[in-house]
Structures are given as structure tokens and as C-alpha cells.
Amino acid sequence: MPALPIIDTTAAPLPPITETLTPEKLAAIDYEALFSGWVEKFINFGIRVLIAIVIFYLGRLLIKWVLHFIDKAMERRKLELAVRSFLHSFLKVILLIVVVVAAVNALGVAPVSFAALMAAAGVTIGASLSGQLQNLASGIVILLTHPFKVGDYITTGTVEGVVSRVAIFFTTLTTVDNKVIYVPNAKLTGDALTNYSEMHLRRCEWMLNVEYDTDYEQVRRLLEQIVASDTRILSEPSHQIALSKLGANSVDIFLRGWCRTEDYWQLYWDINREIYALFNREGVAFAFPQLRVHTKKS
């Protein structure tokens, strides 16, 4: 085996090669060829940018057409509006990513390099937007479990309203005073949620506080009269009238009746007005907090 050459690492490094540009050398440079090459590259890049812009613009139009076609297909299959709005949002994001990839590819960026860049960006964005990914997963859970649908009145935490749209990250609620609330999907699946519209029937309850010298049978008869006069209070399940408790300042009597969900609030308000008017006509006194003081003569 031949011996390896010995390299002297203690030798001083060679000085850098320097070259002096003389007027003759500068005059010998072919500036036309040099600048024509740059101009050609600039024109080629400009054409690629123009093609990328055209691809992106046409892609947006194509996405709109495809989503319109998919919406019509889902409507013909009578899918729930919540499912349709979620799929619409999800497909829009996916198709937009495809269009962006095609536009970047038209710029001359290698697909492998772009994929590596997107993967690195995805890791970074995923770490910083972990909450949004949780909202995306919660949106899928809502889509599969159907705890509510568009048009239902729900409450969760401190917010309530009518569901108007279910998207991939947020669910939109419209309040009774026409405000819009965007609730993260993770909040809807992580907290207790009440759906007031899911059941067809609801039970109304009216609590009456009357004075201690009031005749209970008279109150019961008046309440039966009110129930019989309003057809929105259903006969089945039957209504209830009972003496709830003897309070510190009043006798508490309740009336409970079943109605259709869409009649709930209007029935509640109408019966309140009817009770107030009828009791005043019949001389039934409503109780209020009071303190009686008895003095004893010595």
C-alpha cells in the first residue's frame, strides 16, 4: 500500500489573486451580450409572473363555479344547511391551496422545493395555530354528531342566538337584537350546549305570588279558565296547577302547560298579560315583600 502524502499545515496561506482592471480590459467587455442576457431573463420572469396571475385569477373563477355546482348537488340531496356550509368552507380552502400551488409552479419554482417549503411552513404555522386546528377538528365533530343545525336557537357559556352558519373554524350565531357572534367550534364541543329548538314541544311555567288571605280554589278556577281559552296550551301532555310553597311573604302557585316550541315566548307573554288583567278584575291581590309589626300594650 503506497504511503499517503504528508500535508504541511504550518505553511502560510497563499495570497489572494488580484487583478487590476485597466481601461483596455473594460473596453474589451461585451456589454451588449451581458445586458441582453439580463433583459431576456427579466422578460422571461415577467411572462411567468403574468401567467401565474392569470392562473390565479382563472382559478378563483373556477373555484366559484365548482363550489356553486357542489352547493346545488348538496341542495338536491337535501343535506342539512350546517353540513353544506361546513363542506363549502372546507372545499374552498382546499381548492384555493391547489390554485396557489399551480400559480407558484408557473413561476418556475420546483414542486419538490415548494413542497418542502410548505411542509416547513405547515409545521411552524401548525405550532402557532394549534387552537385553530382544534377548531377545525371540532368542526368535523359537529358535522358528524349534529348537536344543532342551522336555524336552531342555542346557548353555550355566556352567548346565545340562532345558528346561521357553520364554518371550518367558527360557528356564526345571530342574536335576537340582530348582532352576529362568531363562536370558535372548540368552545361548542368543549362546553355544555343547550339546544332549544331540537324538541318539538316545550313546557311553559308561570309562578304566581298571591297574598295569604287569597282563596286558592278561586285562583285555581281562574287559571283553568285561562288555559281553556288559549288553544296554544296543549291538552296532551296535560297542564298542571299546584300550590308550590308557602313563602315568607306570599303563597306561591304555579301553572305549567305544554306548547309547540315556536309558540313558547309569545304564549308566555300573552298568558302573563291575561293573568295580570284577570286577577285585577277578580280582586286577587299579588303579594310583595312586606314586614308587619305588632305592638302589645302593657
pLDDT more than 70, % of the chain? 78
pLDDT tens for residues 76-131?
Answer: 777 777 777 777 877 888 888 888 878 777 777 666 555 665 665 555 555 445 56
pLDDT tens for residues 187-240?
Answer: 888 888 999 988 999 999 999 999 998 999 999 999 999 999 999 999 999 999
DSSP per-residue string spanning the chain:
-PPPPPP-TTSPPPPPP--PPPHHHHHHS-HHHHHHHHHHHHHHHHHHHHHHHHHHHHHHHHHHHHHHHHHHHHHHTT--HHHHHHHHHHHHHHHHHHHHHHHHHHTT--HHHHHHHHHHHHHHHHHHTHHHHHHHHHHHHHHHH-S--TT-EEEETTEEEEEEEE-SSEEEEE-TTS-EEEEEHHHHHHS-EEESSSSSEEEEEEEEEE-TTS-HHHHHHHHHHHHHH-TTS-SSSPPEEEEEEE-SS-EEEEEEEEEEGGGHHHHHHHHHHHHHHHHHHHTPPBP-----------
Q: What average pLDDT is seen over the chain? A: 81
Residue 5 or residue 289, greater confidence: 289
pLDDT of residue 31: 56
Report, as an integer, the average pLDDT of 35-49: 72
pLDDT of residue 121: 56
